[in-house]
Amino acid sequence: MLTSENKIMIHEPDFFRECGACKRVIGYPEAIREALQLAMQNDRRVFIMGQGVDDPYGMFGATKDLHREFGRERVFDTPLSEGALTGISVGAALAGMRPVYFHNRPDFLLLAMDQLVNHAAKWSYMFGGAVHVPMVVWACIGRGWGSAAQHSQALQGLFMHIPGLKLLMPSTCHDAKGLMLAAIDDENPVLIIDHRLNFNTTGLVPSGPYTVPIGRGIVRRPGRDVTVVAVSHLVTDAFHAAQDVSSQGIEAEIIDPRTLRPLDEELILASVAKTGRLIIADCGWKTGGVTAEIGALVAEKGFAYLKAPIMRLASPDLPTPAAGNLEEAFYVGRNDIRKAMIEIVR
């Protein structure tokens, strides 16, 4: 496992970003930690719970030492009982608190599906908007150290299916902080699924509080020949792949949805209308996943724009292997996106 002591930090690409004149560079875990710190300073209703939030590494650095600053009544470790603890989060949110529950791995969210799907996501609807469940659940996809079939699952396609549950997947340090603050402020349950590879990056982040709007994507790189909608860390891979093929006269437009539910359909359709070609890249499974939903969206509402069939890059419909060489073959990356760009244009 990478720790704060041995990880190699990689600076984010020179994205077209919403940071303005900001010149302050910090790491991805520091950006999340700063968001949590600001939220807890500004609102005593906010508290953090989860397995390992108060350990020496503090959830890969995202919650490091917050229990020392705010006390163990507001930042505390939890038992191995994800269903029960998610229920406690739902109850606390209904009672006026704003819990942030760190589940660590998305795999463990499966143990809390009843609370997330049948309770958190439905209460506001069932009571006509008279009650709200303002809670944040955070989980982190991992790869690269043999976590295998039960600790590497990218389940965003599953959670994208659930009405009433907002789903965020940041790709930059700037958005990691801004989306966390937006999620804590939101009156609805919000699930943030992060990727461990993002934790190896640094980026431009303003020091004060700010929010990134939920439901709004962003163009990370403008282009004319092909639209690439990439999710989470694959935004960076897509950006580099676009730089690779630009020498061949191919200009790819990179779209970072940032939010999978609600999805910024207008941004995606506008880009496809300009380029006429679409590649979708996601680290989850292909069947019934994020690439399927976005592909269906464009087929239904933007079919007339298309000059070529939609291309989907996703993990095969198999459990994640443990061996490093098999894991490398399993996941989509920069090379796959580059090859797809060349193929779809030519």
**What is the DSSP code (8-state) at residue 318?**
S
d(CA 96, CA 136) in angstroms, rounded, equals 13
**What is the DSSP code (8-state) at residue 265?**
H
> Cβ atoms within 10 A of the Cβ of 240, count?
15
Main-chain dihedrals φ then ψ at residue 285, nearest 5 degrees = -70, 155
d(CA 32, CA 54) in angstroms, rounded, equals 15
Q: Widest CA span of the chain, in angstroms?
A: 59
Choose, from 67, 103, 151, 233, the residue flagged as catalytic.
151
User: Does 240 qualify as catalytic in the annotation?
Assistant: no
> Cβ atoms within 10 A of the Cβ of 224, count?
12
What is the three-class DSSP state of 158? helix
What is the three-class DSSP state of 113? helix
d(CA 248, CA 335) in angstroms, rounded, equals 15
Q: Is the distance from CB of 248 to CB of 279 less than 8 angstroms?
A: no
> Cβ atoms within 10 A of the Cβ of 42, count?
13
Which residues, at least 6 apart from 17, have a Cβ–Cβ distance to it below 8 Å?
172, 174, 204, 218
Radius of gyration of the chain (CA): 19
Please list the active-site residues: 151
